[in-house]
Amino acid sequence: MFDLIAKNATLPDGQTGMDIACKDGKIAAIEAGITAEAKDVIDAGGNLVSPPFIDPHFHMDATLSLGRPRMNVSGTLLEGIALWGELKPVQTVDEIVERAMRYCDLAVSKGMGAIRSHVDTCDDTLKGVEALLEVRDKVKDYLDLQLVAFPQDGLLRSPTALENTKRALDLGVDVVGGIPHFERTMADGAQSVRISCELAAERGLMVDVHCDESDDPLSRHIETLAYETQRLGLQGRVTGSHLTSMHSMDNYYVSKLIPLILEAGVHAIPNPLINIMLQGRHDSYPKRRGQTRVPELRDAGVTVGFGSDCMMDPWYSLGKADMLDVAFMGLHVAQLSSRADMAWCFDAVTVNSAQIMGLEGYGVETGCNANFVLLQAKDKIEAIRLRAHRLAVVRQGKIIARSQPVKTELLTGDAARSLDEAQTAT
């Protein structure tokens, strides 16, 4: 007797008509025509069953704070940071927890299985850290939350940031962050990268640095991050988030840089929605896109995952916790339009990001955790095209969210009829 069987599923690799049987929180079997009984059955109807969506870059301490204490008028990254600085002293732990829990509900309904959230450590009270540690514990049965100690105002530039970052790590924050391009000088930025990596090496942790999030073609912190990763033997445990300056760098220099990133085993996390919104703001026309060099990094062998970064906060007024929106934007901005490239964008919000976060037991395969999402779409490309509706979300072999297929009753012409958007192209 299985706990759950999802019948007639299409798998991410394209196999159709497969049944996925779950037992004791794991995927026990995947094959066609499983006849054994189960306590619960999902009819997948030939739709795609994907492993959960993974958001490897988010700011849960700021989410859903839009308009508090005011709106970002210029729309720039720097006004966003200033605005966040106004909100930090007036918000409470309870308020941060309440907003974060609302976000987690929304994220789970969209099939999210794990989130890496940065949490600001440039607040001597560490309110955000206290709040998100509480949230991490509250949601652990249905969502993996990994926290990054993030010195938003600069590890060295903000007088107490280094001490607070160490305190946050002592309290149980998982990953060491940084923001070298926001330090006062390029030298301070390099020094901050060295300190972040040394902290991680001493404590056996991962590193995820907001790195070169600017349009400055001469920003060089990713080079330092790759160097320190090598020096300290942190290969595979370090991520450069954003890397937007790589968009504007000299091509010859990038031809040297990408092999260094690969050699160091440093991962890359562009955040397409936010990068296309915030970068190029000082340009007239032509206006740079500001997304890092996604296909070039990928083709070299660097693991690239897409993050969402923000939802309804000082930096971004939109968003709905939907990683398919992120994949859709990343696909367009990087012009990843071939069939293989579009399918890869789905991997960038699932398997690649799971690998970057170091998640174990991830995937729709026998022996993996019984965590998956049933989408109202036949394959990865259709899922991105439609930002497909989530029909069911399964965690540890239990259905934790479900909804009816989206259909519209059309009343044009002679006879009323039902339109399923997913069927219009077939």
Interacting residues with Fe ion (CB under 5 A): 309
27 or 273: CB nearest Fe ion:
273
> Residue 282 gets which letter from DSSP?
T
Q: What's the min distance (Å) between Cβ of 210 and Fe ion?
A: 5
Three-state DSSP at 330 gives: helix
CA 407, CA 404: separation in Å to the nearest integer?
9
**Which residue spans within 293-380 are E strands per DSSP?**
372-375
142 or 306: CB nearest Fe ion:
306
Of the candidates 24, 49, 163, which has an alpha carbon nearest to the alpha carbon of residue 393?
A: 49
The token duo for 237 is 């445990």
55 or 322: CB nearest Fe ion:
55
Q: What's the min distance (Å) between Cβ of 47 and Fe ion?
A: 33
Q: What's the min distance (Å) between Cβ of 412 and Fe ion?
A: 45
Q: What's the min distance (Å) between Cβ of 271 and Fe ion?
A: 6
Neighbours of 328 (CB within 10 A): 22
> Residue 10 gets which letter from DSSP?
B
Three-state DSSP at 300 gives: helix
Q: What's the min distance (Å) between Cβ of 59 and Fe ion?
A: 6
Q: What's the min distance (Å) between Cβ of 76 and Fe ion?
A: 14
Q: What's the min distance (Å) between Cβ of 57 and Fe ion?
A: 6
- What does residue 259 show for φ and ψ, rounded to 5 degrees? -60, -30
119 strand-pairing partners: 149
117 strand-pairing partners: 58, 147
302 or 310: CB nearest Fe ion:
310
Of the candidates 148, 137, 129, which has an alpha carbon nearest to the alpha carbon of residue 57?
A: 148
Q: Exposed/middle/buried for 109, CB within 10 Å: 0-12, 13-18, 19+?
A: middle
CA 41, CA 253: separation in Å to the nearest integer?
55
Indicate which residues carry an active-site annotation: 213
- What does residue 304 show for φ and ψ, rounded to 5 degrees? -120, 125
CA 235, CA 334: separation in Å to the nearest integer?
26
Cβ atoms of residues 108 and 73 within 8 Å: no
The token duo for 24 is 């004791």
CA 147, CA 169: separation in Å to the nearest integer?
10
Of the candidates 345, 347, 346, 326, which has an alpha carbon nearest to the alpha carbon of residue 335?
A: 345
268 or 370: CB nearest Fe ion:
268
